[in-house]
Chain A
Amino acid sequence: MLLAAGVAGLVVAMGLMIWRAIAGPSPYDRMLAGNSFGTKTVLLIAVIGYLFGRPAFLDIAIAYALINFVTTIALMKFVRYRTLAQPLCSPHDTEAKDG
């Protein structure tokens, strides 16, 4: 019962994230919503695995967490830096540029 209520809560939270992803207004809002949507799907998979009696689905949740991260980084690089190929700055690089 509690698990089912939890599932419902997660689905509603996912709906809210979709709203934010559609509404924007800035691309960072959208990315935030996408990333948060991903985290919620991870949790949802974990919970429904238990609810349906197949906890082995947790493997899928791990994959979601990984993919979600990589996608967010790719989007961030796209929006902020307009390149996928150049490295992200390390503190060392920036200091060299400043000096």
Chain B
Amino acid sequence: MNAIALEASFALNVALLLMLVAIAAAIAWTRSLVAAILLMGVYSLASAVWLVVMDAADVAFTEAVVGAGVSTVVLLGATLLVRPGPVRVDWRRAIAPAVLVVGVGALLVLAVSGLASFGDPSSPANAHVGRSYLVETPNDIGIPNVVTAVLASYRGFDTLGETVVIFAAGIGVALMLGFGPRSSLPQPPVQPGEHHVVLRVTARLLIPLIILFAFYVLFHGDLGAGGGFQAGVILAVAPILHALVFGLHATTAAIPAGFVRGVAALGVLVFAGVGVVCMANGGGFLDYDRLFMPRVEAMIPPGLLGDPTHSHNWGQHFGILLVEVGVLLTVSSTMVTIFYGFAGRATHDVGSAR
């Protein structure tokens, strides 16, 4: 059993990578945009499985919900609005890019030849800082998931930047496409007697479960794979599913676009606010050890939640949680803003912009 796990890991690695290459080639080859978008989703799912094999559980989580979920929906929304013809292929125009790509590939192979071989535990990448995180996290942060510890605490500033990037994308899409549904949305071609009662019932059952699962992922991020970002995307999937099944107008009636935008900004404020509070208490920006004023910190009973050794990590626990909540707010509301922007825009023709 044991040796088999190692061999299976290697075989899966190779098989999935070959599968990814095949899917990528198919994406390049196909002329159907729908097929390309669908294959992109399949690519994401396959790469997510590969990521699990590579022990990157958190990344697999994110790649699946983002790549297969949000990206696909956004691509579909955009394709609807641009109503493209088939992708044209002009072989004469493909030669220069091919030469360029081969050049880049050659440089990449050259670069890769200087790297340590795959899986080497003593390679510089794995031996230096990466290993220090594994050794130091139990003492510094005190949570089991090292990825969350690095993400939210050691490199919390990166995560603030990441949240801001998402926020910026929300701003960009809102600037380009507006905020929500127009009155003149196209009517779908429905056949007489056609209906989707099964989907409506299933969606009604699923939406509360999705929201519940999102909060589980948020609060479980310290202990296992997951965290604010993944939870945010999953939370955003609930209104997206609602809009897909019950219509965008019903969704915006429940969750107005302005509210969503406000929450996105609020999330950034929560994250940065945690940093400022730490600063006000005499620490550095995002130094969660100083999240509580010394007076408050003294009041925390040692051994709260049954962990006597790590009571000095309370600031870290709370800081990470608050920061993840900020990420969740921004990510989920930005994803919903983006969906509203794409799904809610009516198709325009030339000259009728705005």
Contacts and interface: CB of A to CB of B under 8 A. Distances in A.
Contacts of A15: 19
B45 A68 contact: yes
A82 B34 contact: no
Given A22-B39, A82-B188, A84-B243, A27 B34 contact: yes
B60 interface: yes
Contacts of B249: 85, 87
Given A78-B34, A91-B197, A52 B186 contact: no
- Most chain B CB within 10 A, of A41, A60, A66, is at A60
Contact of B5 (A37, A44, A52): A52
B181 A85 contact: yes
Interface stretch (B100-108, B127-135, B217-225): B217-225
B79 A78 contact: yes
Contacts of A8: 11
Contacts, number: 215
B196 interface: yes
B23 A75 contact: no
B192 interface: yes
A31 to B, nearest CB: 7
B230 A85 contact: no
Contacts of B4: 1, 3-4, 51
A34 B8 contact: no
A41 B295 CA distance: 51
Contacts of A88: 195-196, 199-200, 244-246
Contacts of A81: 188-190
Contacts of B248: 84-86
Nearest to B30: A22
Contacts of B259: none
Interface in B172-220: 181, 185-190, 192-197, 199-200, 206, 210, 213, 216-217, 220
A56 B225 contact: yes
Contact of B343 (A1, A79, A85): A85
Contacts of B188: 80-83, 86
Interface in A1-32: 1, 3-4, 7-8, 11, 14-15, 17-18, 21-22, 24, 27, 30-31
B76 to A, nearest CB: 5
Given A18-B23, A21-B39, A24-B35, A85 B344 contact: yes
Contacts of B196: 88-90
9 contacts: A4-B4, A27-B35, A34-B38, A52-B5, A74-B244, A85-B344, A86-B186, A88-B245, A89-B190
